[in-house]
A and B are shown apart, each in its own frame.
Chain A
Amino acid sequence: MTDKHQLGQIIAGCRRGDAESFSQLVDIYAGRCYGYFYRMTGSRDISDDLLSELFVKLVEKIKTYKGDGFDGWIFKVTGNVFYDYLRHKYRDTKMLEARKQLFEEDITQMPDDGDQRVDNLQKFLDRLDTETRELIMLRFYSGLSFKEIAEIRAMPTGTILSKVHRGLKKLRELLGAEK
């Protein structure tokens, strides 16, 4: 676990363009950001690409970081990378339909080869709408409070609370119904 002071030094190094500091940043955030991407896309390959894209974007954007909560900032960029991916992928309706079909096939036919094991959670998460799923994952992987999420998403705190609550309740019900 990296303390605040250490993280501050790493961020300062990144702002100076120090490659070693960026390597440390990868070690600290890769797991959580990868989890977010994986839960949003359900694909390891896409998550690999998005995580790589994220850190390249951080190199370009690090100078825009104002010095407030770094987790909030990095997960804001992470969310933008995911939404850019969505926009790029689902540019027209035809592609959307094809993708949906392919996505459903991917989920149901995911090979159980140890590293890439099928998990029911992913299947049920896909039944939630993208925005709700994104808010749940953002909160879970960033560790941000509802208030902080409301700030970075420019939404009222009550709306965030309500969406996350309803989403998690539905997830519980889906998992309960399966058992």
Chain B
Amino acid sequence: MSDNMYDDLKSQFESFLDPQNAAYAAEDVFEGDRILNENPAPMPSEQLKARIKSRVRLTLMRTRRVSSRRFVYQLAAAAAAIIIVFGISIQMVDNKPGHIRPIAQISAAVWDGTNITSDDAELSRLSAGIEQVEQELSGTQLTLNIADSADAADELEMELINIDSDFWKG
């Protein structure tokens, strides 16, 4: 402990005490430091220092292993997040309001052309076909009805003849 140190102590105490008390306080601390210097604490053994050094090495290795494992986990998490986001965005594009999807497989199969002119011709041909089928169907129904009425008249005539002959017979 040098005189410089004593002076430094004194000046530090002078910030809080008057010069005389600061000098006493500095002397007490100076003497206290001298006692501590005269009674040194034991030093750590070389074995202890060697043990600490090897423990530090192990801790460093473990820290490095943990950091690299953490890096791999973070990488895996980032990859998973990218895959999820990609999947969700594809689904969102598919569900967009303007996006036209085929209603059923049948219509897609029947109406697979993209040429409007040929589609119109097909449509009118189909309409004509439907009309023709309808006409044939109603014609058949009419013929069927006429035939039924003729049979009924014959039956009625036969009944009348029978009635007439029965009348004259008494």
Chain A residues within 8 Å of B31, by CB: 168, 172
**Partner of B16 from A60, A158, A168 at Cβ < 8 Å:** A158
Given contacts A44-B42, A51-B48, contact A140 B33 (CB under 8 A): yes
Contact B36–A121 (Cβ < 8 Å)? yes
Chain A residues within 8 Å of B33, by CB: 140, 168
**Partner of A55 from B16, B32, B36, B56 at Cβ < 8 Å:** B56
Chain B residues within 8 Å of A60, by CB: 59, 63
Which A-chain residue is minimally distant from B40 (CB atoms)? A35
Given contacts A39-B41, A168-B32, A169-B32, contact A26 B56 (CB under 8 A): yes
Give the interface residue-count category, chain B.
20 to 34
Q: Write the nearest CB–CB distance from A123 to chain B, whole angstroms.
A: 11
Given contacts A116-B42, A119-B39, contact A52 B55 (CB under 8 A): yes
Chain B residues within 8 Å of A34, by CB: 41-44
Q: Contact mask A1-36 → B, CB, 8 Å, 1/0?
A: 000000000000000010100110011001100110
**Partner of A22 from B13, B25, B53 at Cβ < 8 Å:** B53
Contact A161–B13 (Cβ < 8 Å)? yes
Given contacts A23-B56, A146-B12, A161-B13, contact A52 B36 (CB under 8 A): no
Additional A-B contact list (14), CB under 8 Å, known A17-B64, A52-B48, A167-B32: A19-B56, A19-B57, A22-B56, A23-B53, A26-B52, A26-B53, A26-B56, A34-B43, A34-B44, A35-B43, A38-B41, A168-B33, A172-B35, A175-B35
12 contacts between A and B (CB under 8 A): A17-B63, A19-B60, A35-B40, A35-B41, A38-B41, A60-B59, A120-B39, A136-B36, A158-B16, A161-B12, A165-B13, A172-B32
* B contact residues vs A (CB 8 Å cutoff): 12-13, 15-16, 25, 28-29, 31-33, 35-36, 39-44, 48-49, 51-53, 55-57, 59-60, 63-64
